[in-house]
């Protein structure tokens, strides 16, 4: 396929500016060349020999007015009649100076004069010349002109519908996600139908998930299902060292895509270009900003329902520029999770489909042994097992090959730093169970919806999902205290079970401390301080201490606030610990279930809770 496409676009302001700068530079270069030529031009008309010179010195009557000797012994002779002559004098000045002086001729020795023009402007000329060439190249790139000097032409590969060839059948373990994107497939298959009904289809969808969870694969499957062309480009491709290149690439990609609607544009690693603007450290920051601006402009520039769907992938949604997430851009987010137990088994089944397996291979067991593995890891695992079997000259892959491969794959993943040892998993399971148990027992804590010990890309090792406080309007003091207590559930469980803590509770402590501060400083719920709100500004509630230490409040008040916060935190922590000690049986039971299933949702949790709470074991 040819990349050569002349896309004549109206020259924008930037190009105009560049043209002017280019002209100025060319003018300066010419000016300097002329200046230099003129400087070297001041040559006297006549050159005479030294002998001739000496004769003229001796001549009577005198014809020479003065002699001036340059550093290189070149003499300039001024005659009485105004003419000038040049003579190359010998290095030994004693050969002519006495005679010259004897005739009363004025003589001067010129100091060594540097060729300042040459020294300063010589290198400058070269620099300017190079700058000129560079600007020329850049302008070509900006206009998207192709050729050997083309940096701007989009690297986005155009893959026809035949070549993606991936369908939802090839994607396993992320069924919920596949369902979510069904609508997009329907739309791409028949955009007109959607337009007629006035249905809005999002322009941009953000796929969020750890590397290897199958985001690219899913995007390709959408293209395959809908039978539309698939353009893909990686955010890191955009980031080149020349300013303006990334922007040109974006433009180029959209030109190609528009000529191929309906189609899918897939931008991998969008965080490489889409980072929050104005936070760039060091170089490349301008470049990224321009690329991002171009992307935003292109997205705004086409109507929804024009048959282009842009999918972007990232594992760092938190660093994205908010402008990218606004309505009309990437306003829909789909999380692609790490596969759970059944998901892993399904993916493994897919990846061994074309491999001969021995009868002893049990994929369910393999799935159980690979918590935290993503699709790419499982594919890798199946491949390693096949290699191992081949190395041992087997005709079929046996269970032992799989088991041995786990360690190899694990070593690779560990280097990336996410998979946990059995001990760590158990600790995390206890921690999360602690949150869940406390949250369930306390009547006014937020209800527990889901507990998981599947590590996530953002570094969270497990989580317990409770409806966040912020979504309610009025919260009572009891509710706040119960919430605080359940925040401590994790750390308290670790103390109850292991008699020590891990760093895993860091985030909980931070949240608990903030909440306690709010309780005292903002809501006036502390007993000793009474109904007083010490915060001036609602937006500042997380600056509790700073506010209190502000001008308005005394030292004594500050320390009272501190001690109130501390005492609330202590009370809640002790309460969490006591609850867990009393319900150790439930804690163990939940932990065990979590270690097996990894994720427990509302109903499953309720089953465990009610059976244990109805018949409290001794």
Q: Which is nearer to ligand ADP, 336 or 496 (CB)?
A: 336
Q: Which is nearer to ligand ADP, 220 or 575 (CB)?
A: 220
Q: How far is the CB of 341 from ligand ADP (least distance, A)?
A: 14
Q: How far is the CB of 268 from ligand ADP (least distance, A)?
A: 6
Q: How far is the CB of 316 from ligand ADP (least distance, A)?
A: 13
Q: Which of ligand ADP, Zn ion, none is residue 508 near (CB under 5 to 8 Å by kind)?
A: Zn ion
Shortest CA distance to 490 belongs to which of 590, 344, 410? 590
Q: Please give the C-alpha separations between residue 618 and each of 56, 313, 581, 583, 586, in angstroms, as whole numbers.
A: 132, 51, 12, 10, 11
Q: Which of ligand ADP, Zn ion, none is residue 173 near (CB under 5 to 8 Å by kind)?
A: ligand ADP
- Tokens describing residue 142: 């900006």
Q: What is the 3-class SS of 330-354, one letter each residue?
A: CCEEEECCCCCHHHHHHHHHHHCCC
Residue 79 pairs in a beta bridge with 64
Does residue 212 belong to the site contacting Zn ion (CB under 5 A)? no
The count of C-alpha atoms lying within 13 angstroms of the C-alpha of 270, restricted to the half-sphere facing its C-beta, is: 34
Helix axes 175-189, 215-226, angle to 10 degrees: 40
Shortest CA distance to 75 belongs to which of 49, 113, 36? 49
Rounded CA separation 590/330 (Å): 38
Identify the active-site residue in 225, 426, 432, 564: 432
Q: Which of ligand ADP, Zn ion, none is residue 228 near (CB under 5 to 8 Å by kind)?
A: none
Q: Which of Zn ion, ligand ADP, none is residue 154 near (CB under 5 to 8 Å by kind)?
A: none
Q: Which of Zn ion, ligand ADP, none is residue 212 near (CB under 5 to 8 Å by kind)?
A: ligand ADP
For residue 602, how far is the Cα from the chain centroid?
35
Q: How far is the CB of 463 from ligand ADP (least distance, A)?
A: 20
Helix axes 602-614, 422-441, angle to 10 degrees: 70
Q: Look-up: residue for tokens 């303006």?
A: 244
471 is catalytic: no
- Please list every residue from 496 through 555 that binds Zn ion, using CB under 5 A: 508
Residue with the shortest CB distance to ligand ADP: 375
Shortest CA distance to 144 belongs to which of 12, 53, 338? 12
Output the DSSP codes for 376-420.
HHHHHHHHHHHHHHHHTT-SSB-HHHHHHHHHHHHHHHHHHS---
209, burial (CB in 10 Å: exposed 0-12, middle 13-18, buried 19+): buried
Q: How far is the CB of 438 from ligand ADP (least distance, A)?
A: 35
Q: Which is nearer to Zn ion, 289 or 508 (CB)?
A: 508
Q: Which of Zn ion, ligand ADP, none is residue 213 near (CB under 5 to 8 Å by kind)?
A: ligand ADP
Q: Which of Zn ion, ligand ADP, none is residue 398 near (CB under 5 to 8 Å by kind)?
A: none
Q: Which is nearer to Zn ion, 310 or 436 (CB)?
A: 436
Number of residues that bind Zn ion (CB under 5 A): 2
Is 91 in contact with 51 (CB distance < 8 Å)? no
Q: Which is nearer to Zn ion, 357 or 461 (CB)?
A: 461
Is 459 in contact with 315 (CB distance < 8 Å)? no
Residue 14 belongs to what H/E stretch? helix 13-39
Rounded CA separation 475/487 (Å): 16
Name the residues that contact ligand ADP, by CB under 6 A. Answer: 171-174, 209, 211-217, 313, 347, 350, 375-376, 379
Q: How far is the CB of 598 from Zn ion (least distance, A)?
A: 16
Q: Which is nearer to ligand ADP, 352 or 441 (CB)?
A: 352
Q: Which of ligand ADP, Zn ion, none is residue 490 near (CB under 5 to 8 Å by kind)?
A: Zn ion
Which are the contacts of 259, defined by CB distance < 8 A and separation ≥ 6? Answer: none
Rounded CA separation 321/235 (Å): 14
Q: What is the DSSP letter of 360?
A: T
Q: Which of ligand ADP, Zn ion, none is residue 439 near (CB under 5 to 8 Å by kind)?
A: none
Q: Which is nearer to ligand ADP, 172 or 587 (CB)?
A: 172
Q: How far is the CB of 357 from ligand ADP (least distance, A)?
A: 18
Q: How far is the CB of 453 from Zn ion (least distance, A)?
A: 11
Rounded CA separation 165/174 (Å): 19
Q: How far is the CB of 153 from ligand ADP (least distance, A)?
A: 24
Q: What is the DSSP letter of 275?
A: B
Q: Which is nearer to Zn ion, 2 or 499 (CB)?
A: 499
Interaction pattern, residues 458-497, with Zn ion; x per rule: CB under 5 A: --------------------------------x-------
Shortest CA distance to 419 belongs to which of 367, 378, 454? 454
Q: Which is nearer to ligand ADP, 217 or 573 (CB)?
A: 217
Question: Where along the sequence are the contacts to Zn ion (CB under 5 A)?
Answer: 490, 508
Query: Where in the sequence numbering do the catalytic residues fall?
Result: 432
């Amino acid at each position: 396929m040819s990349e050569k496409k002349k896309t004549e676009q109206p020259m924008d302001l930037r190009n105009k500016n560049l043209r002017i700068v280019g002209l100025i530079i060319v003018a300066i270069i010419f000016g300097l060349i002329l200046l230099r030529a003129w400087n070297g031009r001041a040559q006297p008309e006549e050159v005479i020999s030294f002998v001739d010179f000496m004769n003229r010195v001796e001549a009577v009557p005198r014809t020479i007015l003065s002699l001036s000797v340059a550093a290189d012994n070149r003499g300039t002779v001024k005659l009485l009649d105004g003419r000038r002559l040049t003579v190359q004098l010998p290095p030994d000045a004693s050969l002519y100076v006495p005679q010259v002086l004897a005739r009363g001729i004025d003589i001067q020795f010129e100091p060594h004069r540097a060729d300042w023009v040459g020294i300063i402007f010589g290198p400058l000329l070269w620099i300017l010349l190079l700058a000129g060439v560079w600007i020329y190249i850049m302008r070509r790139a900006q206009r998207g002109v192709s050729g050997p000097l083309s940096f701007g032409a989009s690297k986005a590969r155009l893959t026809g519908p035949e070549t993606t060839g991936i369908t939802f059948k090839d994607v396993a373990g992320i069924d919920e996600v596949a369902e979510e994107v069904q609508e997009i497939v329907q739309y791409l298959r028949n955009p007109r139908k959607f337009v007629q009904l006035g249905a809005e289809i999002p322009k941009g969808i953000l796929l969020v998930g750890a590397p290897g969870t199958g985001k690219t694969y899913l995007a390709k499957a959408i293209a395959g299902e809908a039978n539309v062309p698939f353009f893909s480009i990686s955010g890191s491709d955009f980031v080149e060292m020349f300013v303006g290149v990334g922007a040109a690439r974006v433009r180029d990609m959209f030109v190609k895509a528009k000529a191929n609607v309906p189609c899918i544009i897939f931008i991998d690693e969008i965080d490489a270009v889409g980072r929050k603007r104005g936070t760039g450290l060091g170089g490349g920051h301008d470049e990224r900003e321009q690329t991002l601006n171009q992307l935003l402009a292109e997205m705004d520039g086409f109507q929804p329902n024009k048959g282009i769907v842009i999918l972007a992938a990232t594992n760092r949604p938190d660093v994205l520029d908010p402008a990218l997430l606004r309505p009309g851009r990437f306003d829909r987010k789909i999380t692609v999770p790490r596969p759970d137990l059944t998901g892993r088994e399904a993916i493994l089944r897919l990846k061994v489909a074309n491999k001969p397996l021995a009868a002893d291979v049990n994929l369910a067991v393999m799935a159980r042994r690979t918590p935290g593995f993503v699709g790419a890891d499982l594919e890798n695992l199946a491949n390693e097992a096949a290699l191992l079997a081949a190395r041992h000259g087997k005709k079929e892959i046996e269970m032992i090959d799989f088991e041995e491969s786990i360690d190899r794959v694990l070593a690779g993943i560990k280097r990336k730093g996410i998979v946990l040892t059995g001990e760590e998993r158990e600790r995390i399971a206890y921690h999360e169970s602690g949150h869940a148990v406390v949250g369930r027992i306390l009547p006014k804590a937020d209800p527990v919806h889901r507990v998981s010990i599947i590590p996530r890309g953002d570094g969270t090792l497990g989580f317990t999902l409770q409806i966040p406080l912020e979504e309610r309007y009025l919260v009572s003091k009891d509710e706040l205290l119960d919430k605080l207590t359940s925040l401590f559930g994790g750390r308290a469980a670790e103390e109850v079970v292991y008699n020590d803590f891990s760093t895993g509770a860091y985030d909980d402590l931070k949240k608990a401390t903030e909440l306690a501060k709010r309780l005292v400083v903002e809501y006036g719920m502390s007993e000793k301080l009474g109904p007083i709100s010490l915060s001036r500004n609602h937006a500042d509630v997380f600056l509790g201490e700073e506010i209190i230490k502000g001008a308005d409040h005394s030292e004594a008040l500050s320390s009272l606030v501190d001690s109130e916060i501390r005492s609330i935190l202590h009370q809640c922590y002790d309460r969490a610990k006591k609850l867990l000690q009393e319900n150790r049986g439930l804690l163990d039971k939940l932990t065990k279930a979590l270690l097996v299933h990894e994720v427990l949702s509302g109903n499953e949790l309720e089953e465990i809770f009610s059976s244990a709470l109805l018949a409290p074991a001794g």
